[in-house]
Amino acid sequence: MSNTIFDWKKDRSMFPEPDKDGKPVVELDSQKYIKVWQGPNHPGVTGNMALELTISGDEVMEAKTHVGYLHRGFEKLFERRRYMQCFPTSIRMCVPEPDINEYNLSRGTELLSGIEVPEMAGWLRMIALEMARLQVLLRTVPGQGGTIGLGLPAQWGLYYRELILDRFEELTGGRIYHMYILPGGVRGLLPDGFKKRLEDNLVKIEAFMKEVDRVVYSNAVFKKRTKGIGVVPPEWIDQYGATGPVARAAGYKRDVRKDYPYLYYDRLDFDYNVEHESDVFARFHVRRKDVDTTIDLLRQIMAKMPEKGELRAETPNVLHWKIPRGETLVRCESSRGEYLFYMVADGSIYPRRINLRGPSYTHGVVLLEKLLVNANISDVSSIMVSLATCPPEIER
């Protein structure tokens, strides 16, 4: 049974009896329970999705996830677009971290076409992917405090995220959607002085994270509200396919960059960030350490990448590009965990099938609905945000 900030013996007399499938049988006419909706607005919800909560007093009896409030049907739209036209659609499958979609779609197209990416382009792709990871973590790590009323660090985090978005704008011309990684390589070199400006940003972010440690991580109220809350049993990790920080917080060493190295991650020195308590606090702690790891990786990449080289391999005319018949599977490590594309080509100018398998469906639907049963209603947002769900990824 999960902890709360209060010490009391819970009255289980009003908790509904389960049916043969283990689901509670709730009779609203009995007036013992009430249904409340959280969402689909953003506050306390990781995007435009809603939770239908059945509560008794302030205890959650049952939780149902509702999606469908966003643009939908990305995978079907792909089948009616040329490969290059799929990119503006793909990046909307996860707005906070669009570059992972650019990479997977580009890499799948390259594998199906037999295109070799120049080394310089590979290093530049890694810079874009790690910058994308860092700007997401600058929202989610301080934002975890916002779920229990520590809103100031979350506001601070938005400013430091803007520093990375400034670098994206300088590199790609766009702040949120970048369209930088394309089949065959990337769109451009680093601007003059880019490494120095990025390093200055990283130094400021490191100083900021010490403030996050002081205000959030070391806060007694934060610890009381997150330790022992939303515990994911370790046996659920493989059973439901949980990945990324959710898996690593349960003691599992899972990171696509190390398990299935891509680009040049095998040339970099980093380790798994692992905790074992598998609660909200452990997931926060894993992501907090991920910030330090990402900063270190960006520095390693800038130090090891070549100073010049080819940016893009030769590709056919994108308006008439027929991809040979075949299928492939590509994956990368997003800030939320394994992010996988399954692509099928039928020899035409249109994809036959592009399927996304991201962590949000497992984390934001299956795990969330289970974790919220018996939870205090005040902990719902904290548990939800700790799973780091991206709703467009569910509504693909």
At 28-84, the pLDDT tens digits run 666 677 888 887 876 556 668 888 888 888 888 888 888 888 767 888 888 889 988
- Which residue blocks in 220-308 are alpha helix, DSSP H? 220-226, 234-240, 244-248, 256-259, 280-304
Structure tokens at 37: 């909706």
Task: Give the list of residues 6+ apart from residue 194 with CB closer than 8 angstroms, or none.
Answer: 167, 170, 171
More confident residue, 392 or 333: 333
Could you read off the pLDDT of 352-365 as tens digits, one per residue? 999 988 888 888 88
Percent pLDDT > 70 in the chain is 90
Above 80 in pLDDT, residue 18? no
Strand ranges (E), the chain: 34-38, 50-56, 59-66, 181-182, 185-186, 326-334, 337-345, 351-357
What is the arithmetic mean of pLDDT over 316-342? 92
* CA pair distance 13, 97, nearest whole angstrom: 45
Q: 219 vs 6, 149, 225, 273, CA distance in Å?
A: 17, 12, 10, 22
Q: For residue 75, what pLDDT is reported?
A: 84
- DSSP letter, residue 232: -
CB 339 within 8 A of CB 104: yes
Nearest to 391 by CA among 90, 44, 45: 45
Q: For residue 136, what pLDDT is reported?
A: 93
Cα-Cα end-to-end distance for the chain:
35
Q: For residue 8, what pLDDT is reported?
A: 46
Place of tokens 């270190």: 296
* CA pair distance 278, 300, nearest whole angstrom: 30
Q: For residue 115, what pLDDT is reported?
A: 93
Could you read off the pLDDT of 229-276 as tens digits, one per residue? 999 999 999 999 999 999 999 999 999 999 999 999 999 999 999 999
Q: For residue 1, what pLDDT is reported?
A: 45
The neighbouring-strand residues paired with 344 are 327, 353
CB atoms closer than 10 angstroms to residue 193: 9
CB atoms closer than 10 angstroms to residue 334: 30
Question: Per the confidence metrics, is the pTM higher than 0.75?
Answer: yes
Nearest to 181 by CA among 71, 297, 332: 332
Rounded to 10 deg, the angle between the 151-172 and 119-146 helix axes is 160
More confident residue, 56 or 209: 209
What SS3 class is residue 84?
helix
Q: Which CATH class is domain 76-387?
A: mainly alpha
Task: Give the list of residues 6+ apart from residue 233 with CB closer than 8 angstroms, or none.
Answer: 250, 278
What SS3 class is residue 189?
coil
Above 90 in pLDDT, residue 130? yes
| Residue 351: φ, ψ to 5° | -65, 140
* CA pair distance 101, 336, nearest whole angstrom: 13
Average pLDDT, the chain: 88
Could you read off the pLDDT of 137-189 as tens digits, one per residue? 999 999 888 888 888 888 899 999 999 999 999 999 998 899 999 999 999 99
Domain spans of the chain, in order of start? 76-387
CB 127 within 8 A of CB 298: yes
